[in-house]
């Protein structure tokens, strides 16, 4: 692809006014949603400039959520792997247990500003549902969460949490009964109730302006990490690593460093049971260009354009499309994308837990798996910052049953 045609020198200047990241992104939605998207775009542009909005969000993030999160030197993991120094950006310490709350709170303040009364959202692993239900409870909104029936089973703990927080959780049984179907139902609800309802989309996905808004609410991760590593090491890191579902925690970490030439970045997709059709969710491994749920990007589809089945041990990475900005950054050669299989992620989950005393989310374990592969190939004077996007409490039951099934535990 002819990149120079699309990229200006400054990689942080995207999307353009139509929501395009080079050839990706845009707004592929039914006419009935255009008004809502345009309203959201205008309100967001105004909110971004409004000091009252920014201050309210900043103090919520500090006092309700627990920002800034530490940048923690993983001393024992570094020693064990015997290469680069590894730092963990501790988003797992945030209220509700993952980075998702940064975006949910930003969007709830937008919803209030727009005079909406009702919140809907989709959720995969349940983390975005929990974050949204939390934000809705905090601000007194009515809240409905759509979740695939299969994911509800994998993530029963998060379903209970959402219900305790006062949200209505609707199980979606269509198709594969995971995230894609949940998004379809949420979009259907939004089309019907668009006047009083705001849809809090949970990743850097969907139609413009969502990928931009979600990125902007998460860029605080990289803004903080950049300051913290400079303070600690007096230099920038050599490598950033983050797992990529839709891509919100990854772009949140990467964005502040995009124009720092010496900083390499790797996004880690879900390799599932291996790169075999239907067994993984690594869109850059055998994926193609297409349109899904409002945006043009890389996705997993067959020759007729039908969306393929996906699989990952982690519900939060189990989605057929990647956020459009990641497709753009891949073409630009700015970010490398690799993948970790279910087995590699599970091994990384155990390694971090037993060596560092931190149980990561299964999504996050994919990023750790990449670090386990690359850190030993680097020098001890090099630095890696990995985004610890969430904690593993939600996954404990699932990992325990997987291992019981595999006969590892009696």
Q: Please report whether residue 390 would count as binding ligand PLP according to CB under 6 A.
A: yes
Near ligand PLP by CB under 6 A: residue from 37, 81, 152, 244 = 244
CB 40, CB 114: distance < 8 Å: yes
Q: Please report whether residue 25 would count as binding ligand PLP according to CB under 6 A.
A: no
Q: Please report whether residue 361 would count as binding ligand PLP according to CB under 6 A.
A: yes
Q: State the residue number with the nearest CB to ligand PLP.
A: 390
Q: Please report whether residue 249 would count as binding ligand PLP according to CB under 6 A.
A: yes
Q: How many helices (H) and strands (E) does the chain have?
A: 15, 14
From the list 342, 306, 369, 362, the residue with the least C-alpha distance to 124 is 362
Q: Please report whether residue 245 would count as binding ligand PLP according to CB under 6 A.
A: yes
From the list 246, 247, 255, the residue with the least C-alpha distance to 216 is 255
Closest distance of CB 103 from ligand PLP, Å: 9
Near ligand PLP by CB under 6 A: residue from 243, 253, 282, 368 = 243
Closest distance of CB 130 from ligand PLP, Å: 9
Residue 191 CA to residue 187 CA, distance in Å, equals 6
Catalytic residue among 180, 296, 389, 394: 389
Alpha carbons within 13 angstroms on the beta-carbon side of residue 88 total 25
User: In which residue are the tokens 């909104």 written?
Assistant: 141
Residue 387 CA to residue 367 CA, distance in Å, equals 8
- By CB under 6 A, which span of 52-60, 153-161, 278-286, 359-367 interacts with ligand PLP? 359-367
Active site residue 373: no
- Report the residue number, 187 or 378, with the smaller CB distance to ligand PLP: 187
Closest distance of CB 65 from ligand PLP, Å: 15
From the list 290, 284, 319, the residue with the least C-alpha distance to 302 is 290
What sign does the dihedral 227-233-235-236 (CA atoms) show?
negative
Active site residue 122: yes
Q: Please report whether residue 281 would count as binding ligand PLP according to CB under 6 A.
A: no
Residue 211 CA to residue 363 CA, distance in Å, equals 20
- By CB under 6 A, which span of 58-66, 223-231, 357-365, 371-379 interacts with ligand PLP? 357-365
Tokens of 377: 């190939």
- Of 138-177, binders to ligand PLP (CB under 6 A) are none
Name 8's Cβ contacts closer than 8 Å, sequence gap at least 6.
Answer: none
- Report the residue number, 378 or 389, with the smaller CB distance to ligand PLP: 389
Please work out, in degrees rounded to the nearest 5, the angle formed at the alpha carbon of residue 66 by the alpha carbons of 228 and 269: 70
CA distances from 57 to 147, 222, 403 (A): 27, 17, 41
From residue 72 to residue 91, what is the string marking binding to ligand PLP with x (rule CB under 6 A)? --------------------
Q: Please report whether residue 363 would count as binding ligand PLP according to CB under 6 A.
A: yes
Near ligand PLP by CB under 6 A: residue from 93, 125, 150, 292 = 125
Residue 390 CA to residue 94 CA, distance in Å, equals 8
Q: Please report whether residue 348 would count as binding ligand PLP according to CB under 6 A.
A: no
CB 293, CB 283: distance < 8 Å: no
Catalytic residue among 41, 89, 91, 100: 100
Catalytic residue among 91, 122, 325, 363: 122
- Of 92-121, binders to ligand PLP (CB under 6 A) are 98, 100
Task: Determine the distance from the C-alpha atom of residue 385 to the mean position of all C-alpha atoms in its chain, rounded to a whole number.
Answer: 17
Q: Please report whether residue 134 would count as binding ligand PLP according to CB under 6 A.
A: no
Closest distance of CB 364 from ligand PLP, Å: 5
DSSP code per residue over 280-325: -B-TTTT-EEEEETTEEEEE-B-TTSPBPP---SSGGG--SB--HH
Closest distance of CB 394 from ligand PLP, Å: 8
Residue 249 CA to residue 225 CA, distance in Å, equals 13
Near ligand PLP by CB under 6 A: residue from 26, 237, 247, 287 = 247
Active site residue 389: yes
Near ligand PLP by CB under 6 A: residue from 26, 206, 272, 316 = 316
Give the number of residues written for the chain.
410
Could you list the active site residues? 100, 122, 389
| Chain positions contacting ligand PLP, by CB under 6 A | 98, 100, 125, 127-128, 203, 243-250, 316-317, 361, 363-364, 389-390
């Amino acid at each position: 692809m002819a990149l120079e045609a699309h990229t200006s020198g400054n990689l942080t200047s995207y999307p353009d006014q139509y929501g395009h990241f080079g050839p990706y992104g845009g707004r592929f939605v039914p006419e009935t949603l255009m008004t809502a998207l345009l309203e959201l775009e205008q309100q967001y542009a105004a909110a971004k400039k409004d000091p009252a909005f920014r201050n309210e969000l900043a103090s919520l993030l500090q006092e309700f959520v627990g920002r800034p999160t530490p940048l923690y030197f993983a001393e024992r993991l570094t020693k064990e792997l015997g290469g680069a120094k590894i730092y963990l950006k501790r988003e797992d310490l945030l209220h509700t247990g993952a980075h998702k709350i940064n975006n949910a709170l930003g969007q709830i303040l937008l919803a209030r500003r727009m005079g909406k009364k009702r919140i809907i959202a989709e959720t995969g692993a349940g983390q975005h549902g929990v974050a949204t239900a939390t934000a809705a409870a905090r601000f007194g909104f009515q809240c409905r969460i759509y979740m695939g029936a299969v994911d509800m089973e994998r993530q029963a703990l998060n379903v209970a949490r959402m219900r305790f927080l006062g949200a209505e959780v609707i199980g979606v049984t269509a198709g594969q009964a995971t995230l894609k179907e949940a998004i379809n139902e949420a979009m259907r609800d939004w089309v019907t109730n668009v006047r009083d309802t705001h849809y809090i989309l949970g990743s850097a996905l969907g139609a413009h302006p969502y990928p931009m808004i979600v990125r902007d609410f998460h860029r605080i991760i990289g803004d903080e990490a950049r300051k913290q590593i400079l303070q600690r090491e007096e230099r920038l890191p050599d490598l950033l690593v983050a797992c990529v579902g839709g891509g919100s925690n990854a772009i949140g970490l990467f964005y502040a460093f995009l124009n720092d030439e010496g900083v390499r970045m790797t996004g880690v997709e879900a390799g599932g049971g291996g790169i075999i059709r239907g067994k993984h969710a690594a869109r850059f491994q055998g994926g193609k260009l297409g349109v899904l749920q409002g945006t043009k990007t890389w996705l997993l589809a067959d020759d007729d354009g039908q969306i393929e089945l996906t699989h990952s041990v982690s519900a939060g990475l189990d989605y057929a499309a990647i956020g459009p900005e990641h497709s753009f950054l891949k073409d630009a050669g700015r970010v490398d994308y690799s993948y970790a299989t279910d087995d590699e992620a599970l091994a990384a989950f155990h390694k971090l837990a037993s060596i560092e005393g931190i149980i990561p989310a299964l999504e996050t374990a994919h990023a750790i798996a990449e670090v386990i592969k690359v850190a030993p190939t680097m020098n001890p004077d090099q630095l890696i910052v990995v985004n610890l996007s969430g904690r593993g409490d939600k996954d404990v039951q699932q990992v325990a049953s997987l291992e019981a099934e595999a006969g590892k535990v009696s």
